[in-house]
Amino acid sequence: MLNPLPNTVTVHALNELSLVVNRGESVGVIGRNGSGKSTLMKLVSGQIRPTSGAIHASSTPIMLGVNAALVPELSGDQNVVLGCLAMGLTHAEIAERFDEIVEVSGLEKSIHLPMKSYSSGMGSRLRFAIAACANPEILLVDEALNTGDAQFAARSKRRMDELRSEAGCVLLVSHSLETIKDMTSRTVWLDKGDLIMDGPSKEVTKAYMKFTKELSKGNNITAANFRAEVQSSQANVSIVDISRQNTRSAG
């Protein structure tokens, strides 16, 4: 940021990095709190703009759970229509998928109540169900947003598995390394806004575990040295700028 406003603080949530995700890839994103994972997802989904650089996408990336701009005063079912229209579905497609969306949301009769009367978990479930019906080519999942109960978790996992198998590519943020190893073949490790490692999920999670283990033992210098060592071994990764080029297709 060149000219920050007075009394403002500039946060470098994410530094320059280059990431190419190919069709058919499932990519995990891991890192400590505040490392830039959600920022990366928001950049890719277009919720925020990068200060510099470019993001190129072959179609509009859909972020599960947050992409639909819903209106609290409207009922759940009205918001289903609104959210689907916002994602580019036609009225005929919405009518076709409506029952499935309500089923995935698990809201049953509450679907007719105003959304402002929902608990945060109920709201998340509705947003998830709406976003999940879009069959996106580029699917973004930020597990930090998951607030559903156990029953919903099982239902959303099922739908997420279907989506993953149908999507061209998936980016998954999770603090669960088991989930990452289970669901992705490639993982990027971010730390303090830097890309530390990009490689096979098994290797990256192993390195990240070693790093966090040293930190939890209080061996901060050993951890920092290891981080630097891993990062420098990745130095052959080309660094290019990021920004976003949206190729939104008309409804």
Closest contact distance (angstroms) between CB of 149 and ligand ATP is: 21
Closest contact distance (angstroms) between CB of 97 and ligand ATP is: 30
Closest contact distance (angstroms) between CB of 37 and ligand ATP is: 4
- Show contacts with ligand ATP in window 84-143 (CB under 6 A): none
Name 57's Cβ contacts closer than 8 Å, sequence gap at least 6.
Answer: 44, 138, 244, 245, 246, 247
Name 246's Cβ contacts closer than 8 Å, sequence gap at least 6.
Answer: 46, 57, 60
195 phi and psi, to 5 degrees?
A: -80, 115
- Tell me: does residue 156 bind ligand ATP (CB under 6 A): no
Binding mask 28-47 for ligand ATP (x = CB under 6 A): ---x-xxxxxxx--------
Strand positions, DSSP E, 104-249:
138-142, 169-173, 186-191, 194-200
Closest contact distance (angstroms) between CB of 212 and ligand ATP is: 12
What one-letter code names the amino acid at 194? D
Whichever of 176 and 233 has its CB closer to ligand ATP, that residue is 176
Q: What SS3 state is found at 94?
A: helix
Binding mask 1-20 for ligand ATP (x = CB under 6 A): ----------x-x-------
Instruction: Name the site residues for ligand ATP (rule: CB under 6 A).
Output: 11, 13, 31, 33-39, 144
